[in-house]
Amino acid sequence: MIDETANRHVLVFDVNETLLDLRALAAPFENVFGDGAIFSQWFAQVIQSALLTVVTGPYQDFAQVGRSALDMLAERRGLVLDDEQRNLILGTMRTLPPHPDVIPALEILKDAGFRMAALTNSPPQLAEAQLMHAELTPFMERIMSVDAVQSLKPAAKVYEYAAEQLGIKPAKIRLIAAHSWDVAGAMRAGCAAGFVARPGMVLEPLFPAPDIIAADMISMAEKIISTAD
């Protein structure tokens, strides 16, 4: 019997913001800073600092980057945080809920026979805790952290590592993310990609666009299935 799924991409999902909803951070930011909306400023600084480590080195794990970004945000506001305040915010990263469209989309893809995995900048223990709390672990063949290669996304060796762990070539990966830099990094490493255009998320025009773009995860799942066979 011919395996009709053999030539499909393996779907590899980014975690933070793509699968998990960072808006849950608004409450602890409100508690500490008096302004819940600034969680987005913090995460933007996290991404900027993470990219800086990729370009210049040395490697810093994502938890360290998150803590550094939090202190930078506090300094801009004339505040000095104590460990209790930091832990209130950073500890919430372990209990982020999935976006409402995520589980239905993953169920669609699972029913269609796709292999799925997660690839995240989060350290291994945090990544496992995040996906277990969000009840996404059963969908994932593997939960892969960049910590194994000591470099954050979008470094090419991260996607190459993911392919090796999955027993495939990078070209057989489709990286699904709501971050243009993650999509660009995956494509530069030879992977296919899919961009989830969540509110406020746009593609970087300096890099080629992926062949699948969708406004939400359910539309993404439907487009993946329609182009797979």
Local confidence band at 229 (pLDDT 50, 70, 90 cut-offs) = low
* Structural domain boundaries in the chain: 10-21+96-228, 22-93
**pTM to 2 decimal places:** 0.94
Kindly state the percentage of the chain with pLDDT values over 90.
93
Local confidence band at 1 (pLDDT 50, 70, 90 cut-offs) = very low
Question: What is the rounded CA–CA span in Å between residue 170 and residue 157?
Answer: 10
Local confidence band at 5 (pLDDT 50, 70, 90 cut-offs) = low
Whether 3 shows a pLDDT value over 80: the answer reads no
Local confidence band at 87 (pLDDT 50, 70, 90 cut-offs) = very high
Whether 207 shows a pLDDT value over 70: the answer reads yes
CATH 3.40.50.1000 at 10-21+96-228, yes or no: yes
Average pLDDT score over the chain: 95
pLDDT number for residue 4? 46
Phi then psi for residue 159, to 5 deg, are -70, -35
More confident residue, 141 or 58: 141
Among the listed residues 154, 129, 145, 140, the one whose alpha carbon sits nearest the alpha carbon of residue 106: 140
pLDDT number for residue 7? 77
Among the listed residues 104, 98, 185, the one whose alpha carbon sits nearest the alpha carbon of residue 195: 185
Q: Which CATH code fits 22-93?
A: 1.10.150.240
- Pairing of β 173-177 and β 143-145: unpaired
Local confidence band at 57 (pLDDT 50, 70, 90 cut-offs) = confident
Whether 2 shows a pLDDT value over 60: the answer reads no
Let me know if the fold of 10-21+96-228 is the same as that of 22-93.
Answer: no
Q: What is the largest CA-CA distance in the chain?
A: 67
Question: What is the rounded CA–CA span in Å between residue 138 and residue 135?
Answer: 7
Whether 49 shows a pLDDT value over 90: the answer reads yes
What angle (nearest 5°) sits at the alpha carbon of residue 59, between those of residues 79 and 71? 5
pLDDT number for residue 99? 98
Tokens (6 digits) for 39: 């969680």
